[in-house]
Structure 1
């Protein structure tokens, strides 16, 4: 995608409001990546402490179930849910099915009929295409992958190393 190559930062951090005391983090993940599940918890804790601001980049690389989960999460965002369904999908031990998605969507207060329709929306497909283009631009080989400020990190990273990297990036601004 030419627009991603022309202005990657616009799509990488999605116009987030980042203050001097926080570091922007773009998080490329797949719901079926075991390391992503651990890293997601670390990112949530650091974001809650206002050390980082996270933009999730859905990069479903582990097959059809990954793609369905990513589309469901993006569709939930269209209904205003940015965390409930995402959290449930991260805790899901098996492969998602439409029946399972319907149950958890209703459990977290989402409209399944809207979500099912929105999963096929052009906006959802465009978001997935942009994440894929960004991953290609950064030559990522798998998940998890991060862009922390101006620094790229791939693979497993501990919470303390991530915190140190975020602090280093803030001090370099």
Structure 2
């Protein structure tokens, strides 16, 4: 399914940004609280990391490894996954599948499996990730079809949020009131989370 708001972005090349923090004017709470945005949310979390990513982005794959380490190190961090598929139809398929996998309670497994897929994103790699994550492919396709409007709405809002935050490419991070572009390291993530926690911006 083609979405008009992605057409211009599909043609744009990835702009790699330095992972230094940029002051943000707002924490965009709607980006973190939207019901259909997949979340990794431990009980008692006090800091939220919002991640704008594309499964076809190599920097996003690198960042994912750092985020996994962050979750292991800090049990009070919540991650909100904002799918921002800017690399064409395969990326859009992967994003829609990721959101739909929630209805099987499989987003965490599917998300990890997608980032573990080698090479470029294709329908075959999306299917392979679904299989690795234990996702029922037939049910996933049905959910993607029957709930297409909801799924595409949340992706559209992620796209709008990324533009409002002036991200030029994936990945983009919002931690407290700080924006990051690029594959931030574990050290940078820990420092940003610590600053947000001390500032009381969760």
Residue of structure 2 in register with 1:37 after alignment: 61
- Following TM superposition, the consecutive aligned residue runs of length 4 or more in structure 1 with deviations greater than 6 angstroms are 15-21
Q: Give unmatched runs, 5+ long, in structure 1.
A: 1-6
Number of residue pairs the alignment of both structures matches? 167
Instruction: Label 1:13 to 1:146 Cα distance change in 2 as closer, same or farther (>3 A).
Output: farther
Q: Give unmatched runs, 5+ long, in structure 2.
A: 1-26
Query: What is the alpha-carbon root mean square deviation over aligned residues?
Result: 2.4
Residue of structure 1 in register with 2:151 after alignment: 124
Question: What are the within-5 Å matches in structure 2 for residues 3-14 of structure 1?
Answer: 8-14=28-34
* Structure 2 CA distance for aligned equivalents of residues 113 and 19 of structure 1: 32
Shift of 1:137: 1.3
TM-score after normalising by structure 1:
0.84
Shift of 1:100: 4.5
Q: Secondary structure at the match of 1:85?
A: helix
Instruction: Label 1:13 to 1:143 Cα distance change in 2 as closer, same or farther (>3 A).
Output: farther
The reply on whether 1:85 has 2:110 as its aligned counterpart is yes
* Structure 2 CA distance for aligned equivalents of residues 105 and 20 of structure 1: 30
Residue of structure 2 in register with 1:72 after alignment: 97
Q: Secondary structure at the match of 1:42?
A: helix
* Structure 1 CA distance for aligned equivalents of residues 164 and 69 of structure 2: 28
The reply on whether 1:22 has 2:60 as its aligned counterpart is no
Question: What are the within-5 Å matches in structure 2 for residues 122-161 of structure 1?
Answer: 122-161=149-188
